[in-house]
Amino acid sequence: MIASMPAGAESDDWLGWRPRRPRLRPLRIAVAWLCSALALLGAAAVLPGAHVGGFAGALLVVAIVAVLNAVLPPVVAALRVPFTVLTGFLAVLALDALIIKLAADVAPSAISVDGFGDALLVSLLAGAISTALSVVAGVNDDDDYAFRIARRIARRTGRPERTDEPGLIFLEIDGLALPVLRRAMQTGAAPTLARWVEQGSHALREWETDLSSQTGASQAGILLGSNEDIPAFRWVEKETGRLVTCSNPGDCADIERRQLSDRGLLQHGGSSRGNLLSGGADAALLTASRLTDEKRANPGYRSFLANGTNVTRTMVLFTWELLLELAAAARQRRRDIRPRGRRGGRYPLMRAGVCVFIRDLVVFSVIQDMAHGRPAVYATFASYDEVAHHSGLERPDTLEALRKLDQRFAMIDRARAYAPRPYDIVVLSDHGQTQGATFRQRNGYGLDELVARALTSAPVRGVGAGDEHSEAMGQALDEALARAPEREEEGTVAAHEAVVLGSGNLGLVYLTESPRRLSLEEIEQRHPGLLPALREHPHVGFVLVRSEAHGPLVLGTRGMHRLRDGHVTGVDPLAPFSPNAGRHLVRADSFRNAPDVLVNSFYDPVAEEGCAFEELISFHGGLGGPQTRAFLLHPKRLAVPDAPLVGAEAINRLLRSWRRDAPFQRAAMAAGAASSRPERIASVNSP
């Protein structure tokens, strides 16, 4: 019996699963200590309040610090007290300074510091230098130490149940399209995922998103089993006049209450990490729908903070990510690269937060879940999506964000050997992205201004120029401070004649003069210039309205598509889009919160570009291009139907079938039978 199962191993190896203990690597430890000693000497040379007694003294201090770090941070992290990430960071920083002071007391000839402040500066500066040296030396990720910490915390917070019943780890890469992933695997930007496919353990499949192609709708379908009546990232409930946003914690909680049923993917022991919705999970961290219910600090931070090096390492990498963003933005301006997004203001801080702190916090929480033996974990990583929005779909810094994420997936893969149960890893995306200069960049005005000009009277309210991850950062801050989140009220929309919302290249126009959806005939009577202004605009691909006489109609510049019977007059406005575009639009038209007018930007299949109604040069939300081409990278032994996978609800049925089949798989392996039952999932595309 082998103790671990690498990506290419056979599932028969799972019978009688026995986890391996993280091992000590003397050479790696020696190199790490050497880097730490040099870093300590460098810090002492810079800081006047510290002195180190030569290289031998530095090595002695490193040894003392290593012993104390192995004991004190895990003890602090395991304390059952109201523990927030902010207080945890401050506690670990203070603890690092205290450890330096203790080392000075134990070995005064090796190191001396004038006071606590100097000890803190020594700890921070030495940590920064050590991190840089460790990267050069190739020992920056001490997986075995992290796994030992995770096992220790798991034992102190509840005894893990050892079993040979397979668990599932779902890792979502927000916004990564299948074509982009394939090229990244070829060019070396995703070597871990490429290796899994090359070794034959995993297969890569495409699935097509719903309309709207964005995280809120996709995660509702995947995690809750239903994304009915979610027309976009933002929408208006005309009956109440309320504006709903998919990343708002209160709105996410409402969505989950309405949609969650027995189809929740993470019910019965699962955990949710970094998601908008929890899927009925027992445990959640950085999950928007659960944030409102948090009354005390989340214990999920303990694993991250228990590794004493994580705090200084995170601070160093956060600063480095800021510098990378500033350099990449300057390079784009200098070379006049187009399309080019807005990259100033608070965006560099937000990018660093998503690409460093949130990413690594979610990784460590997944490893902690594995140490606990949870049967299912779903974690979302937004770093690629965040950078792509502002840098471009496949620009160097965007692919670098993907490479670093791939590196973390390799760490999660290695952690499987130490878990109390075997795990399968499934990697998927919720949608892709399409690139192009924004509507405003092309025209000098926004969609809201175009609508305002076409209406018979004003005013018009436009919403949708923000970054979808900004609220996730606010959510992380709320959890960090153990602060009850305030529900963001966008205000009533009843006083506005029109509300124009942007979700990528999907625009929604609500004429709030009526509490119900207006028909084509009513719009033409009340605002005769609106539909011509929209359908004839060169950067609008089509508009969707409902006719009293003909049902849902898709109107383009030179033609019309009647969705009820598929009749086309003139040039079909849906021709440049997916063959399933009509199917998606019929469903979107049936939603209770469907807008009076739905607008989709143009898509040029030759140039492979469209335009967002937000200020994002890579976008998603509507139809056109790779934004609807999501992927599923799954172990080959998990059966997938031959039929195309269309819609997030189909993915939910497929993933739930894998969870249901876990006991069957164990029994089948023991009996030497096949490890899948295709008949269970043959209808994942049906209701």
Splitting the chain (687 residues) into consecutive groups of 10 residues, what average pLDDT does each group show?
39 65 70 84 90 89 80 63 59 79 87 88 84 70 67 70 91 98 97 97 97 96 97 92 90 93 95 96 91 57 67 84 94 94 89 92 91 95 96 96 96 92 97 97 96 82 64 53 47 73 96 92 95 97 97 97 97 96 97 97 96 96 98 96 96 96 55 40 47
Determine the Cα angle at 279 with ends 273 and 285, to 5°. 25
Q: Which two tokens stand for residue 52?
A: 């180190």
What DSSP designation does 211 have? S
At residue 258, the pLDDT reads 93
Taking a C-beta distance cutoff of 8 angstroms, is the pair 463, 490 a contact? yes
What CA–CA distance (Å, rounded) separates 277 from 255?
8
Taking a C-beta distance cutoff of 8 angstroms, is the pair 241, 512 a contact? yes
Task: Identify the CA nearest to 622 among candidates 491, 503, 450, 538.
Answer: 503
Cβ atoms < 10 Å from Cβ of 207: 26
What CA–CA distance (Å, rounded) separates 188 from 595?
43
What CA–CA distance (Å, rounded) separates 635 from 226?
25
For the chain, the first-to-last Cα distance in angstroms comes to 42
Tell the residue number behind the tokens 């124009």, with chain if given: 500
Instruction: Indicate the burial class of 430 (C-beta count within 10 angstroms; 0-12, 13-18, 19 or more).
Output: buried
Choosing from 579, 602, 619, the residue where a domain stops is 619
Taking a C-beta distance cutoff of 8 angstroms, is the pair 533, 455 a contact? no
Q: Are strands 618-619 and 50-52 parallel, antiparallel or unpaired?
A: unpaired
How far, CA to CA in Å, does 221 sit from each of 230, 265, 382, 656? 10, 10, 18, 12
Q: Which two tokens stand for residue 428?
A: 């998927």
Q: Is residue 372 part of a domain?
A: no
Positive or negative torsion for Cα 105, 111, 117, 123: negative
Q: Is residue 162 part of a domain?
A: no
In this structure, what is the dihedral angle of CA atoms 366, 369, 370, 372, given to the nearest 10 degrees?
Answer: 160
Question: Residue 462 is part of which domain span?
Answer: 439-469+490-619
Taking a C-beta distance cutoff of 8 angstroms, is the pair 500, 451 a contact? yes
Instruction: Indicate the burial class of 456 (C-beta count within 10 angstroms; 0-12, 13-18, 19 or more).
Output: exposed
Q: Is residue 205 part of a domain?
A: no
Choosing from 592, 619, 646, the residue where a domain stops is 619
Determine the Cα angle at 156 with ends 151 and 160, to 5°. 60
Q: Is residue 308 part of a domain?
A: no
At residue 462, the pLDDT reads 79
Q: Tell me which H or E stretch contains 631.
A: strand 629-635
At residue 292, the pLDDT reads 62
What DSSP designation does 296 have? S
What CA–CA distance (Å, rounded) separates 502 from 687?
30
Q: Which two tokens stand for residue 672?
A: 């030497």
What CA–CA distance (Å, rounded) separates 34 from 133?
9
What CA–CA distance (Å, rounded) separates 227 from 241?
21
What CA–CA distance (Å, rounded) separates 326 from 264?
41
Q: Is residue 419 part of a domain?
A: no
What CA–CA distance (Å, rounded) separates 414 from 232?
38
At residue 13, the pLDDT reads 54
Choosing from 573, 593, 619, the residue where a domain stops is 619
What CA–CA distance (Å, rounded) separates 456 from 438?
26
At residue 687, the pLDDT reads 46
Provide the number of structural domains found in the chain: 2
Q: Is residue 274 part of a domain?
A: no
At residue 682, the pLDDT reads 40
Q: Is residue 321 part of a domain?
A: no
Q: Tell me which H or E stretch contains 598.
A: strand 597-601
Task: Identify the CA nearest to 409 among candidates 383, 430, 433.
Answer: 383
At residue 80, the pLDDT reads 55
At residue 538, the pLDDT reads 97
Cβ atoms < 10 Å from Cβ of 331: 13
At residue 202, the pLDDT reads 97
Distance of CA 268 to the CA centre of its chain: 23
Q: Which two tokens stand for residue 686?
A: 């049906």
Q: Which two tokens stand for residue 153?
A: 């915390």
Instruction: Indicate the burial class of 1 (C-beta count within 10 angstroms; 0-12, 13-18, 19 or more).
Output: exposed
Q: Is residue 362 part of a domain?
A: no
The strand ranges marked E within 457-576 are 460-463, 498-503, 506-511, 540-547, 551-555, 559-562, 567-570
